[in-house]
Amino acid sequence: MDRLKFIQNWLIKVILKEMEKDNQNRSMSLDEELIHSIGCCRLAQVLAAKRNLDTEIGGIIGIVHDYGRIITGQKENHGEKGAEILLRFLKALGLFSEEEVNIIDEAVANHSSKGIVHKPYDELIKDVDVLDNYFSGKTRDKEEYQRRLNKTLEELDLN
């Protein structure tokens, strides 16, 4: 079974279900959430390959990293909230080793802490998140955001 494809299809179903609800107070539209999640999935696979990390796990982290914002509609603490729910879900699926579940969980929980250096997959999703926002025309003025963006563009030989 292709675990990445399974998780992608699952997240699309989650987003479609959320679209059926009244989503007036969302910090980001569900259309944008879907586009961002797919973009991050693919960019994470590319950057994971460049960093000699597992591209499947990288892609899975990319597609689910904003799950907390997707289900709550709010940006505040969405990494931690999403990781909490994903941890139980991924364990129950039985498709991932305990180590893989922990890697995904930690990366999702830590992805908003752009100014703090964590483990390789945490850094992967932080860089991918910034990169996808950059290519989507959403830039931030924060110093840690700019530093991370410039470092990642340089790593990919894009600046």
| Predicted local confidence at residue 79, as pLDDT | 83
| Predicted local confidence at residue 77, as pLDDT | 84
Structural domain spans, the chain? 3-19+27-155
Distance spanning both ends of the chain, measured CA to CA = 38
102, 107, 99, 100: which is closest to 68 by C-alpha? Answer: 107
| Predicted local confidence at residue 1, as pLDDT | 58
Whole-model pTM? 0.94
Place of tokens 């996808």: 132
pLDDT under 50 in the chain at which residues?
none
- How many distinct helices (H) and strands (E) make up the chain? 8, 0
User: How many whole angstroms separate alpha carbon 152 and alpha carbon 47?
Assistant: 9
Place of tokens 């590319």: 46
Domain 3-19+27-155 falls under CATH 1.10.3210.10:
yes
